[in-house]
C-alpha cells in the first residue's frame, strides 16, 4: 500500500512539474512580447529612415515568432488540462505513469526530466517516439526503443 501511495505522489509531482514548466515558459514568452512591444513603441524616427524601418520590421518579425510560440504553448496548456489526475488504468494512456525495467515515464507533455524523491521521471508527450511506442500497452508488454528492450512493470 505504501508503494501505491508513493507512486500516486510521484504521478502528482510529475503533473505539477509539467504545470510549472508550462507556466514558466508562458511567463517568459509574455515578458519577451511585452519587451518587444515597448521597443516597438519607443522606437523613434531617426534621420536614417530606412534603418528605422528595418529595425521596426525586425522587431515585428520577432514578435510574430513569439506569437507562434505562445500559440503552441497554449495548445500544450490545453492538452495538460485534459490529463486525468486520478485513476490507475490498465493500459497506457494520457496521464499514465509508466514504470519500465529501466525508466519511468509520465505521459502528458514534453517537459523533460523531473527528479522526484530520488527517482527520475521523464515527462513526455504521447506524440513522441517513445510515447507512441508505449501508448495502449499494459503491464508485462515489451517494446524496443533505441535498440534496447524495455518491459512495462507497472502502469499508474
DSSP characters for 19-48?
A: HHHHHHHHHHHHHHHHHHHHHHHHPPP-S-
Q: How many CB atoms lie within 10 A of CB 134?
A: 25
Sign (positive or negative) of CA dihedral 123, 97, 142, 102: positive
pLDDT digits (tens, 9 = 90+) for 57-96: 888 899 999 999 999 999 999 999 999 877 667 899 999 9
Among 20-24, 25-29, 55-59, 70-74, the minimum mean pLDDT is found in: 55-59
Q: How far apart are CA 76 and CA 49, in angstroms?
A: 41
Q: How far apart are CA 64 and CA 29, in angstroms?
A: 12
Task: Give the residue among 24, 13, 15 at the shortest CA–CA distance from 83.
Answer: 15
pLDDT digits (tens, 9 = 90+) for 89-129: 789 999 999 999 999 999 999 999 999 778 899 999 999 99
Quick one: average pLDDT of 122-147? 96
Amino acid at each position: 500500500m505504501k508503494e501505491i501511495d508513493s507512486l500516486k505522489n510521484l504521478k502528482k509531482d510529475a503533473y505539477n512539474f509539467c504545470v510549472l514548466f508550462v507556466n514558466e515558459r508562458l511567463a517568459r514568452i509574455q515578458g519577451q512580447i511585452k519587451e518587444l512591444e515597448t521597443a516597438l513603441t519607443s522606437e523613434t524616427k531617426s534621420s536614417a529612415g530606412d534603418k528605422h524601418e528595418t529595425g521596426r520590421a525586425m522587431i515585428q518579425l520577432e514578435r510574430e515568432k513569439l506569437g507562434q510560440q505562445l500559440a503552441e504553448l497554449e495548445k500544450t496548456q490545453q492538452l495538460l488540462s485534459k490529463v486525468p489526475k486520478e485513476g490507475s488504468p490498465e493500459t497506457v494512456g494520457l496521464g499514465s505513469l509508466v514504470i519500465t525495467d529501466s525508466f519511468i515515464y509520465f505521459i502528458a507533455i514534453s517537459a523533460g526530466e523531473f527528479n522526484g524523491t530520488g527517482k527520475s521521471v521523464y515527462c513526455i508527450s504521447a506524440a513522441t517516439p517513445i510515447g507512441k511506442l508505449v501508448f495502449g500497452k499494459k503491464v508485462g508488454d515489451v517494446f524496443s526503443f533505441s535498440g534496447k528492450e524495455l518491459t512495462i512493470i507497472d502502469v499508474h
